[in-house]
C-alpha cells in the first residue's frame, strides 16, 4: 500500500533582482514541484515586494524587546505558520544578498525567533515549528574557492538560524557552483535536480 506523505507548509524566501535569472527559474521549479506534491506554499519575493533591509536605530535599540513593527508582522506570522523554510538566493560575496540578510536581521528578532529568559545566558528558540530548512543557491566560483572563503552564507543558514528552530530540524543545501562559466546543460541539470529533490520532500 502506498503511504501518504505529510503535507508540509513551506515558506519560500526569494531574493534576486531579475525575474528571469537562473535563481528565478530555480524558485519556479521548487514552487511547481512542491505544489505538485500537494504541499502548501507561500512565497515572499523580497525584491519584488520592496522589502527594506535596513535596521533602524530604533529597531537596534529595542532588539531585546519582543515583537516586530507592524510592517514586519506578516513576515513574523509566515515564520510561525511554516514547518519548512526555503531560502532561494544567489550567493554574493560568500553569503546572502544584503536584502535577505536584512530580512534575517529585522524579522528573526526577540519574541519571533528567540527569547532570553530572565537570568538566562542562552537564547531560547521560538521557531520550533520549523523542522526543515532548504537552501537553493548559486555560486559564481568553483566549490573549492567557496570552501577557502569559509562559506559564510552556509553557516548563517544552516547553523545560525537553524538553532532557533526545532532541535531536530533537518537541513538541505542545493547549490550550483561555477555558474559564471556553467554551460546550458549544467544549469538545466541544476533545475532538474531541484524539481526531483523537491518532489521527494
Q: Tell me: the pLDDT tens digits for 47-73?
A: 999 999 998 888 887 777 787 888 999
**For helices 22-36 and 184-199, angle between their N-to-C axes, nearest 10 degrees:** 30
The structure's pTM equals 0.92
Check residue 166 and report its DSSP letter.
-
Cα 68 to Cα 49: distance, rounded to the nearest angstrom: 18
The pLDDT tens digits of the residues spanning 88-97 come to 999 999 999 9
* Helix (H), strand (E) at residue 10: strand 9-14
Q: Assess contact for 13 and 88: CB atoms under 8 A.
A: yes
The pLDDT tens digits of the residues spanning 98-144 come to 999 999 999 999 899 999 888 888 889 999 999 999 999 999 887 87
> Would you call 26 exposed, middle or buried from its count of C-beta atoms within 10 A (0-12, 13-18, 19+)?
buried
Cα 29 to Cα 134: distance, rounded to the nearest angstrom: 14
Going from the N-terminus, what domains does the chain have, and what CATH number goes with each?
Answer: 9-199 (3.40.50.360)
Q: Assess contact for 85 and 43: CB atoms under 8 A.
A: no
Ranges of H-type helices in 1-89:
22-36, 57-61, 73-81
Cα 90 to Cα 33: distance, rounded to the nearest angstrom: 20
- CA 112, 170, 1 angle in degrees (round to 5)? 120
Beta bridge partners of 44: 13
Do the bridges between strand 84-90 and strand 124-125 make them parallel or antiparallel, or are there none, so unpaired? unpaired
Amino acid at each position: 500500500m502506498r503511504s501518504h506523505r505529510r503535507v508540509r507548509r513551506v515558506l519560500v524566501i526569494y531574493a534576486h533582482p531579475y525575474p528571469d535569472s537562473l535563481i528565478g527559474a530555480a524558485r519556479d521549479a521548487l514552487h511547481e514541484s512542491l505544489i505538485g506534491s500537494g504541499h502548501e506554499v507561500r512565497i515572499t519575493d523580497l525584491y519584488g515586494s520592496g522589502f527594506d533591509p535596513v535596521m533602524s536605530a530604533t529597531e537596534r535599540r529595542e532588539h531585546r524587546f519582543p515583537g516586530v513593527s507592524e510592517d514586519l508582522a506578516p513576515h513574523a506570522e509566515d515564520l510561525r505558520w511554516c514547518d519548512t523554510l526555503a531560502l532561494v538566493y544567489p550567493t554574493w560575496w560568500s553569503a546572502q544578498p544584503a536584502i535577505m540578510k536584512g530580512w534575517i536581521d529585522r524579522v528573526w528578532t526577540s519574541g519571533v525567533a528567540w527569547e532570553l529568559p530572565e537570568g538566562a545566558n542562552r537564547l531560547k528558540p521560538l521557531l520550533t515549528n520549523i523542522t526543515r530548512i532548504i537552501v537553493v543557491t548559486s555560486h559564481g566560483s568553483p566549490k573549492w574557492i567557496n570552501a577557502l572563503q569559509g562559506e559564510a552564507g552556509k553557516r548563517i543558514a544552516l547553523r545560525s538560524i537553524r538553532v532557533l528552530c526545532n532541535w531536530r530540524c533537518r537541513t538541505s543545501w542545493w547549490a550550483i557552483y561555477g555558474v559564471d562559466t556553467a554551460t546550458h546543460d549544467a544549469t538545466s541539470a541544476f533545475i532538474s535536480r531541484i524539481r526531483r529533490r523537491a518532489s521527494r520532500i
